Amino acid sequence: MPDTSNDAHTPAAGAPSDSLLRLIADSVPALMAYYDLPSLHCRFANQGYAAYNGHSTESILGLTVREAIGEKAWQAIEPHVERCKQGERVKYVREQTLPSGEARMIEVNLIPHVMPPAQLVGAFVLITDITERWRAENAVRQSEERMRKFAAATDEAIVFHRNGLIIDGNEALQRLTGYTLPEVLGLSIFSFITPEWRPVALEYTRSGREDPYEVTITHKDGRTIPVEAVGKTMPMHHADYRIVVLHDITVRKQAQEREAFIALHDPLTQLPNRRHLMEQLDRVLSLAQRQRGRAAVLFVDLDHFKTVNDSLGHHAGDQLLCDVAARIKQCVREADMVARLGGDEFVVVLADIHGPDDAAHVADKLLEAMHGAFTLDNQPVTMSPSIGISLFPDDGSTGDVLLRCADAAMYHAKENGRGNRQFFQPGMDGRAMEVLQQERQLRAAITSHAFVLHYQPQMSLRDGSLQGFEALVRWNHPERGLVGPDEFIGFAESRGLIAPIGRWVLHEACRQLKAWQDEGLAQVPMAVNLSALEFRQRDLVGEIAAVLRSTGLPPRFLEIELTESVLMHQTGPVLDTLNAIQALGVGVSVDDFGTGYSSLAYLKRYPIDKLKIDRSFVMDTPGDADDVAIVTAIIQMGHSLQLKTVAEGVETAAQMELLRQLGCDLVQGFLISVPMDAQDTRRWLTRPE
């Protein structure tokens, strides 16, 4: 024995000693044993193996497998042992429950030991505990299983790829692309992406980026679909294995495009708006500059559009603008641009012209195209435009300047009798300055109350008695003296200045009448004109009530004059306001009656007291038979609706006589008196009979 142990410490050169082998065997993490065959007696076991089975390295020696590992384990492994006994190398995995109750997963290798030439003398048993690996793999399997279930359940298209090659995909992917799964397996994910987006997708894939990005893919049927893609590197896998979720963003894209379109287009006509026009104009001009070409800007403004809008209502006005837009577009080439600046203002940009003649030609075509009547609410309406033309580079080099020049030229077209075209001439743009100047002066006038009222009496045709006054405003202009309302009411409306003027008029008219009445004069109503705009914008009822209160004028002495146009749209709110005015006890007259495209239906609907027959019908009576017929009809209709009729602009005794015969109630006009200032009116009221 000493010899043997001595031997172990002095091994032959190159061969490890027994004790070194033991040391090695006990140090490896695997369990090892050696059994003789065919007896299956244990010949060697490392510490791990022996302890695993509840033995020491010594006590296990000589035991059979069955004895060493116990009956239950033997039952489980016997078939494997049998195969090994046949000389087969066997490998299997099985679960083993430790005495502590913990379940471990082990991998067992049974390796037959064959002595040359072919004698089976034993078997090595090599057992590794693979519990950790098994758990990890299990976790991946479960997470992949979960992923698959999730992928199947979601509406998002999901594709798995390795190095860009598709290895799996869900139902939604098939819906999104139109391809079945077998059709796409093995294909490159980039083949679905439209060429211009491939570099982006490639970059995201290569760098493993996990934030969302947008690309466009091609469906099997050829259409392209915008998608949002999010790529994620799969857990427990190398970065080349990625899952990509694709979300169809067609709806979002369309909404974005719609938004972008809305920002640049006029919602009514769908034409480019001012912003879009200016952007495009800059583009056109820089191109023209580079190519030494020429361009033209046509400023198109409709003549008397406001009349149509006021008399036929906004709906018809809108329709007319759309029809006009369509006609303008028919007159220009594809490369030219038609925009709407707002209101009845259109701009045409001719991108590439040879000279002024080309611009003149297009402008003439536009005038011609507008010539035919438009049909609005089954009525033919005629319309003409006034067109101003500016040329690049002759009149200016920027869009702003060219537009201003074309605008100024358009004003000249209006002054030239409307319905014509004018080229810009130096000096024309003084007009814009004039407008600014006038606006400044009007604002100053409002602040300093530089207005006066003139009063025109209304007389009864039956007995010649005074029946009322109409208050007519004048602007006491610092340079021009008294300026009539036709020259500034429309302007004030367009500049948003009508409300303060209207308020002053209402208050002053009531105050003056009350002052006269306090003197025992003019126990008759005072009529005050209101423009359509004021009627829509102001809190009239509240203001009227407040003015009556502050001046102390009894409501029955106030009358409001409205034009037909007020009554023709917004029936609901108008009716409410008129009812409220009537409830206050204030009268309502329809001014300039007969000039609007009126239907008679509304006359019945509204609380109206008087119709004022427009001066244009009275003017040519009694000579003009048509006008006599019209005046007759209005008076009769007024009476049948129990409305009083007032004839405006009565200048001759013959007119008055006719009106008397026709049964008109009241007359107003130069024949009775011109409108007079307050002093003259008072004198007129107190004149000796």
Query: Among residue numbers 492 through 521, which ones bind ligand C2E (CB under 6 A)?
Result: 502, 505
Pairing of strands 558-563, 526-529: parallel
Phi, psi values for residue 82, rounded to 5°:
-55, -45
Pairing of strands 224-233, 213-218: antiparallel
- The 10 Å CB-count burial string (b at 16+, else e) for 620-655 is ebbeeeebbebbbebbeebbeeebbbbbbbbeeeeb
Window of 146-154, 231-239, 391-399, 526-534 that interacts with ligand C2E by CB under 6 A? 526-534
Give 49 or 475: the residue with its C-beta nearer to ligand C2E: 475
Query: Among residue numbers 235 through 294, which ones bind ligand C2E (CB under 6 A)?
Result: none
CA distance 602 to 13: 127
Give 301 or 561: the residue with its C-beta nearer to ligand C2E: 561
Give 388 or 587: the residue with its C-beta nearer to ligand C2E: 587
* Position among 456, 458, 565, 645 found at the interface with ligand C2E (CB under 6 A): 456
- Give the shortest CB-458-to-ligand C2E separation in angstroms: 10
- Give the shortest CB-530-to-Mg ion separation in angstroms: 9
- Kindly state the tokens that stand for 349: 């940009």
Positions in the binding site for Mg ion (CB under 5 A):
529, 561, 591-592, 648
* Position among 347, 473, 540, 603 found at the interface with ligand C2E (CB under 6 A): 473
Give 404 or 474: the residue with its C-beta nearer to Mg ion: 474
CB contact at 8 A, 634 and 648: no
Give 118 or 653: the residue with its C-beta nearer to ligand C2E: 653
- Give the shortest CB-453-to-ligand C2E separation in angstroms: 8
Give 383 or 527: the residue with its C-beta nearer to Mg ion: 527
589 binds ligand C2E (CB under 6 A): no
Give 320 or 618: the residue with its C-beta nearer to ligand C2E: 618
Residue, CB closest to ligand C2E: 669
Find which of ligand C2E, Mg ion, none residue 555 binds, CB within 5 to 8 Å per kind. Answer: none
Cβ neighbors of 20 (< 8 A, separation 6 or more) are: 11
529 binds ligand C2E (CB under 6 A): yes
Give 13 or 653: the residue with its C-beta nearer to ligand C2E: 653
Q: Judging by beta carbons within 10 Å of its beta carbon (0-12, 13-18, 19+), is residue 197 exposed, middle or buried?
A: buried
CA distance 536 to 534: 5
* Position among 486, 572, 640, 642 found at the interface with ligand C2E (CB under 6 A): 486
- Give the shortest CB-488-to-ligand C2E separation in angstroms: 9
Total interface residues for ligand C2E by CB under 6 A: 24
> For 58, which DSSP code?
T
Which amino acid, one-letter code, is at 594?
Answer: G
Which amino acid, one-letter code, is at 532?
Answer: A
Residue entry with tokens 């001012």: 274
Contact letters (x/-) for ligand C2E, 657-686, by CB under 6 A? -----------xxx----x-----------
CB contact at 8 A, 685 and 517: no
489 binds ligand C2E (CB under 6 A): yes
Task: Tell me the DSSP string of 562-630.
Answer: EEHHHHHS-HHHHHHHHHHHHHHT-EEEEEEETSS---SHHHHHS---EEEE-HHHHHTTTT-HHHHHH
Window of 9-17, 253-261, 479-487, 623-631 that interacts with ligand C2E by CB under 6 A? 479-487
CA distance 594 to 343: 26
531 binds ligand C2E (CB under 6 A): yes
CA distance 459 to 439: 37
What is the binding site for ligand C2E (CB under 6 A)? Answer: 456, 472-473, 484-486, 489, 502, 505, 529-531, 561, 591-592, 615, 648-651, 668-670, 675
